[in-house]
Structure 1
Amino acid sequence: MEEYHEELPQPRRSVAFIGSECYPFVKTGGLGDVMYALPKALAKQNCDVKVILPRYACIPEEYQNKMIYRGSFDMDLCADGKSYYVGIMEYVWDGVVYDFIDNQEFFTEGNPYTNLVDDIPKFCYFGKAALAALNYMNWTPDVIHCHDWQAGLVPIYLREMFNDTPLSRSKVVMTIHNLRFQGVYNIETFKYWTNLPDYVFNKDTLTVKWLDANMLKGGLTYANAITTVSNTYAGEIQTEFYGEGLDAHLRYHSGKLRGIVNGIDYDIWNSATDDKLASKYDITNVLDKKKENKRALQEELGLEQDDHKFVIGLISRLTDQKGLDLVNEIIPQVMDEHTQVVILGTGDPAYEDSFRYYENAYKGNLCSNIMYDESRAHRIYAGADALLVPSQFEPCGLTQLIAMHYGTVPIVRETGGLKDTVEPYDVNYNSGNGFTFDRYESGLLLDAINRAKTFYFTNRWCFDEMVQRNMAKDVSWENSAKQYRELYVELTK
């Protein structure tokens, strides 16, 4: 006899997110997307969420005007006893409470990050002020979730300076979005701006290279759990090649490290409701509508209008990290009478110039949009047949997830989140989500592109099945939020 189990309601958990940016208030990269989308998804899964951010002057007026004053106090900060004003401004939206830390002295710059000389004191202040604000509002979360180096001192402040407050019972999760940035500066500056005890400036906690302190390293030491944005990347960062100097430290703390892949926001990325597209579509009519979007894209970009072209998209920062050197090397071999290439992005002037040159050389079949245009990006996802993501390293990667959700086949290098989210096509089982290559070599990228192209022209039936398989795949935040939730519950049993 079978037993039936009703799913038990998830226990409620409260979480405070602490980080330096969050869409739509301020965003420079993927961190801003996660700080927006993950709390929103957690709020729908029986979590109580607060997001604590700096109140930068560059936050648009429309949000500044809706903030409500929650209170203020002075906080001791520096080694010489100097204290600073902490104001709390609150904005509630979509089930999430946003608390902005207000301080004219630190946050009047137009940009969230200026240079380390100014950024180090700014984030020494912010980390402590975020905890002090939680105390002031009398809100003790089960979990304090810190993001990247800007919040790296939070776990240390918590255990060293707040251990006689209610916050001492909170557990801490530290998430690494990009290991390349760590908040490293000389120890004397940190000692002055944090007034932390001398013993935390040791080689196992904050100190690197004898004279410097590293905010991210210290946070990783003191955190109860460490996550990064994909399983493969969690393994990669424990090796010298990807470890950015922290690989030994991460191997030492590997027992509390795990990877959870990011999702994409289905409210923003949804081909069935996307107003930016020439023709909206879903899994039932993707095969016809994709043709209409392709033709509209060719028209918009001045490419030859031809249904039979294989259109390859590339939406990326134009930097070495993103594998642009490989792309640059093979464009002459990729371009033939069956192929068109559409590039969108800005970055390294050498690549910008090179892609402009190629646009001229292959007029009508290659278009280089050296700019960042969000709505054009939507139309490239919808109109292209394949999307290239040949990164050197890629902690998670969102473009391949958006591509699959829009029925565009990804061609990726097997690294980080790309390896975790794109299963290579297997001809024996007719399974998989895209085409992949492993070593970082232009010949292998060319080979992957040629396999995709051959598949498209000689086995369209199976190619179309892959398109539909990709659209059916769940790459939403709901999936990722579940895993974070489980981690919170596990930490606070």
Structure 2
Amino acid sequence: MNILLASSEAAPFARTGGLGDVCGSLPSELAKLGHSAVLFLPGYRHALNCGECIETTEVVFDIPIGGKIVFGRLLKSTFPGTDTPVYFVHQPDYFDREGLYSEGKQDYRDNCERFVFFCRAVLESIRQLNLEIDVIHCNDWQTGLIPAYLNTDYAEARGYEKIASLFTIHNLEYQGLFWHWDMLLTGLDWKYFNWRQMEYFGQLNLLKTGLVFADAISTVSPRYAQEIQTYERGCGLQGLLQDRSNDLSGILNGVSYEVWNPETDEHLASNYTVDDWRTEKPKCKAALQEAMGLPVAHKPLLGAVGRLTRQKGWDLILEVMRRWLPSVDVQWVILGSGEDFYESQLRALAEEYPHKLAVQIDFSEPLSHQIEAGSDFFLMPSLYEPCGLNQIYSLKYGTPPVVRETGGLADTITDASAENLAAGVANGFSFQEFSSDALEQTLRRACNLYRDQSDDWTKLVETGMQQDWSWSRSAAKYVELYQQLVDRRRQ
């Protein structure tokens, strides 16, 4: 099959989170399975300056945006170490900016216009490159207009009539909401601005647009596919998702063990495997403690990496920290950035308890790897989590995750209950109630196992390290879904 993936992010070119990890791995994995895959990205400043070789092409386009015509061109690269093509939609006025979607925590005011241009440019590029595409795989609201254009402007265009579309939700909370007059920018007929298709409480909703017009919908874990059909997690779109439940599936994200593998990770003080982690992993812990200004000591070290938001459970973590820091003999290492409240609270606690808590408010790729390897536990008590990747990284690094049972966390982490430990299936710690008490009880249980039950702790760590959550099996499930869509479209 010939698959075109359209995304606003893909590592190593442009990444802010899990979307970039997924779209940075899936195209090459599809190629390994014998399929032709190409990826289209906006030509962000960061992407074009990332150090990879970027070539010009002869493809240029004039895209109608509202009442004007906007010029752009196509650039080309490949994923590092592969021949899998990556095309960049180059339009400096839209994409030559400091951020991908925002600057100084303020969204760009013309985000709708920017991604209207991107979606139209992707479809125009198919014609100019003479690509024979079976499936366009769209990702999140930034690509939500592509299925709409396929079913309207391109419905009878030669070469487009047999293209199937898949729309993947990476996080339903981010919907691409814009004021209703931005409908003019899309060039689509106003008749589509209705509550069944593109309108959402008087606004233009680009994620909803993708959900309505795509041939099928997927999301990034089986549990999340169920949760987004409920009032609690549906973000106002649960009715639409229930109506399309037969077309909705959940495929768990994979991880790249070429990047996240303690055996080969160049960021670690000592590499290790499931055979020698008991001697080598402590060296990573000591190096992390020293680097972060904590006493080098044999006591539980709790690590966390990621966005500092309520969604990630920071209300719970902060409450447990306030209870534990004065008296409980554990250490904490935090790496992340996000909402000002959480940043300021963490800084204040780190100043008050410098020998127990180390905080770095930013993002560091090397340090994120070092926290995965050097910590004894990895914290992810999320309010909701579409898939989550850090808990899967943690398993490979022998760092049992402590998670709330939701979304992809529920699909990947099996709690260290007595029964699960005896059966040899436990790989972490989980709880259900979104409360600081539930998190605290789970952390106490984890610390007790770490300190007092060495055989069970060893079994827990090694079970996680030996599990396979690589992209190969996830990519195979996507291929199955693509084939179903192609067969359906041909019929």
Assess same fold via TM > 0.5. yes
Instruction: Supply the distance in 2 between the matched residues of 1:329 and 1:279 (Cα, whole angstroms).
Output: 34
Cα distance change, pair 22–240 in 1 and its aligned pair in 2 (3 A): same
> Given residue 217 of structure 1, which amino acid in structure 2 is its aligned partner?
K
Answer whether contact 2:383 2:406 (CA < 8 A) is retained.
yes
- Matches for 1:107-146 after TM superposition, within 5 Å: 107-114=95-102, 115=107, 117-146=109-138
Deviation of 1:128 after TM superposition, in Å, equals 1.2
| Aligned counterpart in structure 2 of residue 310 of structure 1, from 290, 294, 300 | 300
Tell me the equivalent position of 1:149: 141
| Aligned counterpart in structure 1 of residue 159 of structure 2, from 153, 158, 166 | 166
| Aligned counterpart in structure 2 of residue 89 of structure 1, from 68, 75, 86 | 75
Deviation of 1:489 after TM superposition, in Å, equals 1.3
Q: Could you list the per-position Cα deviations for residues 347-382 of structure 1 after superposition, in whole angstroms to 9, with x for gaps in the alignment?
A: 223222322332233332222222322211211111
Answer whether contact 2:165 2:214 (CA < 8 A) is retained.
yes
> Given residue 372 of structure 2, which amino acid in structure 1 is its aligned partner?
Y
> Given residue 244 of structure 2, which amino acid in structure 1 is its aligned partner?
H
Runs (4+) of structure 1 moved beyond 4 Å? Answer: 62-65
Instruction: Supply the distance in 2 between the matched residues of 1:116 and 1:366 (Cα, whole angstroms).
Output: 35
Answer whether contact 2:182 2:204 (CA < 8 A) is retained.
no
Tell me the equivalent position of 2:437: 443
| Aligned counterpart in structure 2 of residue 182 of structure 1, from 175, 188, 195 | 175
Tell me which moved more, 231-240 or 50-59.
Answer: 50-59
Answer whether contact 1:70 1:90 (CA < 8 A) is retained.
no
Cα distance change, pair 341–104 in 1 and its aligned pair in 2 (3 A): closer
Is 2:457 the counterpart of 1:463? yes
Instruction: Supply the distance in 1 between the matched residues of 2:256 and 2:430 (Cα, whole angstroms).
Output: 25
Is 2:276 the counterpart of 1:276? no
Answer whether contact 1:334 1:446 (CA < 8 A) is retained.
no
SS at match of 1:178: coil
| Aligned counterpart in structure 2 of residue 293 of structure 1, from 280, 284, 290 | 284
Tell me the equivalent position of 1:238: 229
- Matches for 1:26-105 after TM superposition, within 5 Å: 26-61=14-49, 63=51, 66-75=54-63, 77-78=64-65, 80=67, 82-93=68-79, 94-105=82-93
Instruction: Supply the distance in 2 between the matched residues of 1:256 and 1:303 (Cα, whole angstroms).
Output: 51
| Aligned counterpart in structure 1 of residue 378 of structure 2, from 361, 378, 387 | 387
SS at match of 2:318: helix
Tell me the equivalent position of 2:94: 106
Instruction: Supply the distance in 1 between the matched residues of 2:219 and 2:50 (Cα, whole angstroms).
Output: 33
Instruction: Supply the distance in 2 between the matched residues of 1:287 and 1:170 (Cα, whole angstroms).
Output: 52
| Aligned counterpart in structure 1 of residue 485 of structure 2, from 481, 486, 491 | 491
Instruction: Supply the distance in 2 between the matched residues of 1:360 and 1:112 (Cα, whole angstroms).
Output: 33
Cα distance change, pair 378–65 in 1 and its aligned pair in 2 (3 A): closer
Answer whether contact 1:43 1:95 (CA < 8 A) is retained.
no
Cα distance change, pair 189–355 in 1 and its aligned pair in 2 (3 A): closer
Instruction: Supply the distance in 1 between the matched residues of 2:486 and 2:185 (Cα, whole angstroms).
Output: 32
Deviation of 1:153 after TM superposition, in Å, equals 0.5
Deviation of 1:62 after TM superposition, in Å, equals 5.8
Deviation of 1:205 after TM superposition, in Å, equals 0.7
Tell me the equivalent position of 2:2: 14
Cα distance change, pair 363–186 in 1 and its aligned pair in 2 (3 A): closer
Tell me the equivalent position of 2:311: 321
> Given residue 66 of structure 1, which amino acid in structure 2 is its aligned partner?
I
Deviation of 1:42 after TM superposition, in Å, equals 1.1
Is 2:411 the counterpart of 1:420? yes
- Matches for 1:351-362 after TM superposition, within 5 Å: 351-362=342-353
Tell me which moved more, 332-341 or 377-386.
Answer: 332-341
Return 5+ residue gaps in structure 2 as ranges.
none
Instruction: Supply the distance in 1 between the matched residues of 2:347 and 2:96 (Cα, whole angstroms).
Output: 38
Indicate the percent of aligned positions where both proteins have the same amino acid. 36
> Given residue 72 of structure 1, which amino acid in structure 2 is its aligned partner?
V
Instruction: Supply the distance in 2 between the matched residues of 1:384 and 1:73 (Cα, whole angstroms).
Output: 50
Answer whether contact 1:344 1:370 (CA < 8 A) is retained.
yes
Instruction: Supply the distance in 2 between the matched residues of 1:317 and 1:427 (Cα, whole angstroms).
Output: 33
Cα distance change, pair 367–186 in 1 and its aligned pair in 2 (3 A): closer
Answer whether contact 2:166 2:215 (CA < 8 A) is retained.
yes
> Given residue 475 of structure 1, which amino acid in structure 2 is its aligned partner?
W
Answer whether contact 1:236 1:242 (CA < 8 A) is retained.
yes
Return 5+ residue gaps in structure 1 as ranges.
1-12
Is 2:360 the counterpart of 1:369? yes
Tell me the equivalent position of 1:474: 468
Q: Could you list the per-position Cα deviations for residues 426-468 of structure 1 after superposition, in whole angstroms to 9, with x for gaps in the alignment?
A: 3124231111110111100000001111111121111111111
Instruction: Supply the distance in 1 between the matched residues of 2:50 and 2:207 (Cα, whole angstroms).
Output: 33
SS at match of 1:168: coil
TM-score (norm 2): 0.93
Cα distance change, pair 184–337 in 1 and its aligned pair in 2 (3 A): closer
Cα distance change, pair 109–380 in 1 and its aligned pair in 2 (3 A): closer
How many residues are treated as equivalent by the alignment? 476
Cα distance change, pair 238–252 in 1 and its aligned pair in 2 (3 A): same
Deviation of 1:234 after TM superposition, in Å, equals 1.0
Instruction: Supply the distance in 2 between the matched residues of 1:274 and 1:429 (Cα, whole angstroms).
Output: 30
Answer whether contact 2:116 2:186 (CA < 8 A) is retained.
yes
Answer whether contact 1:172 1:223 (CA < 8 A) is retained.
yes
Deviation of 1:102 after TM superposition, in Å, equals 2.1
Instruction: Supply the distance in 2 between the matched residues of 1:421 and 1:366 (Cα, whole angstroms).
Output: 28
Deviation of 1:64 after TM superposition, in Å, equals 7.3
